[in-house]
């Protein structure tokens, strides 16, 4: 795999919080991210994809060109490379059983990216790895026993009694699920420090275009690879830790009867996805009630009084959420910027949004105290956390 390009702050600093954390509530203490070295500008994607898959259908190329423009993505990182396709040409051959080859690439790649993101996060945190008591590992891109959580814990040099939780195949809402699980661990185990890491690659879903699988083109135009990590803990240590976000209250909810709207299946050729056209509408129809449920915990009433960290599944979802909740134009800027810079990187993307949000809140004199982190995925599942900026 190509050398990892780490994109994080990479240094520890103990700037005082503007607000005091609520005693006993979980906080985010540091964040890190990492990417494969291969960066693909969106304007170069079509020619490369059509060439690599030996597609000669002009109509498919034209459709992919249109999709690449509508996604608003400008750049993405990817594990897939010319070297991999030269070694495994069958990955670009229709109907070829390639699940073993894909996992041979993906399994080590996701751990390598998770390792680099975790190291960047731990460096920013500023405490020794021995102080990590739990690890939550999220990925929809690897399959093996033992899982990547064990490999990551071993490579980082964590204690052998570290508590491990592995969350597999949750898709785009996995990052917020990981935050909810990390929050529960931190708040119920005094003194604990949880390393939450997410890592994803599109290797399992890469395949030549086929008119019978129109969603493959959407995936080619939208999704990217990368990893993220955060340290979560309650009651941060003064002068040793710098909390910047409190995880105040969390809710998960599924919409009955919508389990086929986002459908994924593992086959001998990799992962096949089907995405219902009614997904944005389903989210729009249910998002207001879901948000109000989260806001009620702090007696909040106005959507525009909050900051918003929304997983950017695609521009249509962001546009409908913005319109339905009558949000001001800049409220989803951090989500739109993450989508533009990285594409949809599944479970990782919410952390890229939160990192953007951290920087934006630093710039504001009167920054919003409360906000929402939201993600949506198979089920249809809604994950939400009421955040408090510190």
Burial of residue 375, with CB atoms counted within 10 A of its CB: 0-12 exposed, 13-18 middle, 19 or more buried: buried
From 230, 229, 204, select the one nearest 219 (Cα to Cα).
Answer: 204
Judge whether 247 and 232 are in contact, CB under 8 Å. yes
Helix (H, G, I), strand (E, B) or coil at 331: coil
What is the CB neighbour count within 10 angstroms for residue 132? 24
At 76-129, the pLDDT tens digits run 999 999 999 999 999 999 889 999 999 999 999 999 999 999 999 999 999 999
Question: What does the pLDDT profile of the chain (390 residues) look like in tens digits?
Answer: 445 666 554 555 455 567 999 999 999 999 999 999 999 999 999 999 999 999 989 999 999 999 999 999 999 999 999 999 999 999 999 889 999 999 999 999 999 999 999 999 999 999 999 999 999 999 999 999 999 999 999 999 999 999 999 999 999 999 999 999 999 999 999 999 999 999 999 999 999 998 888 888 999 999 999 999 999 999 999 999 999 999 999 999 999 999 999 988 899 999 988 888 889 899 999 999 999 999 999 999 999 999 999 999 999 999 999 999 999 999 999 999 999 999 999 999 999 999 999 999 888 878 899 999 999 999 999 999 999 999
pTM exceeding 0.75: yes
Tokens of 237: 């240590």
334 is catalytic: no
Handedness of CA 231, 10, 353, 245 (dihedral sign): positive
Judge whether 45 and 14 are in contact, CB under 8 Å. no
Q: Which of 12, 44, 68, 172 is catalytic?
A: 172
Handedness of CA 215, 4, 143, 80 (dihedral sign): positive
Task: Please give the Cα distance from 357 to 359 (Å, whole number).
Answer: 5
At 310-366, the pLDDT tens digits run 999 999 999 999 999 999 999 999 999 999 999 999 999 999 999 999 999 888 878
């Amino acid at each position: 795999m190509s050398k990892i390009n780490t994109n994080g702050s990479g240094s520890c600093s103990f700037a005082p919080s503007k607000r005091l954390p609520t005693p006993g509530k979980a906080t985010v203490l540091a964040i890190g991210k990492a990417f494969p070295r291969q960066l693909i500008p969106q304007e170069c994607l079509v020619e490369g994809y059509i060439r690599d898959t030996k597609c000669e259908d002009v109509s498919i190329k034209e459709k992919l060109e249109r999709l690449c423009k509508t996604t608003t993505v400008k750049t993405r990182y990817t594990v897939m490379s010319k070297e991999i396709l030269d070694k495994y040409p069958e990955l670009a051959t229709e109907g070829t059983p390639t699940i073993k080859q894909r996992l041979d690439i993906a399994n080590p790649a996701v751990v390598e990216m998770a390792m680099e993101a975790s190291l960047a996060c731990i460096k920013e945190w500023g405490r020794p790895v021995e102080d990590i008591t739990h690890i939550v590992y999220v990925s929809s891109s690897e399959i093996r026993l033992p899982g990547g959580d064990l490999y990551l814990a071993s490579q980082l040099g964590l204690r052998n009694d570290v508590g491990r939780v592995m969350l597999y195949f949750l898709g785009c809402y996995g990052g917020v699920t990981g935050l909810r699980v990390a929050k529960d661990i931190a708040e119920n185990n005094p003194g604990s420090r949880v390393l939450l890491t997410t890592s994803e690659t599109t290797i399992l879903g890469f395949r030549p275009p086929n008119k019978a699988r129109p969603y493959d083109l959407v995936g080619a135009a939208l999704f990217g690879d990368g990893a993220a990590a955060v340290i979560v803990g309650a009651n941060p240590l003064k002068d040793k830790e710098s909390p910047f976000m409190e995880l105040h209250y969390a809710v998960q909810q599924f919409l009955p009867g919508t389990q086929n709207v986002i459908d994924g299946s593992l086959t001998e050729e990799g992962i096949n996805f089907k995405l219902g056209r009614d997904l944005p509408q389903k989210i729009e129809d249910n998002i207001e009630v879901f948000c109000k449920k989260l806001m009620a915990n702090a007696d909040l009433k106005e959507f525009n009084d909050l900051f918003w960290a929304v997983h950017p599944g695609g521009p249509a979802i962001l546009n409908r959420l913005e319109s339905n909740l009558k949000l001001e134009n800049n409220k989803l800027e951090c989500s739109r910027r993450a989508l533009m810079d990285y594409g949809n990187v599944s479970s990782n993307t919410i952390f890229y949004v939160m990192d953007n949000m951290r920087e934006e809140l630093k710039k504001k004199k009167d920054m919003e105290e409360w906000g929402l982190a939201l993600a949506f995925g198979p089920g249809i599942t809604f994950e939400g956390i009421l955040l408090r900026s510190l």
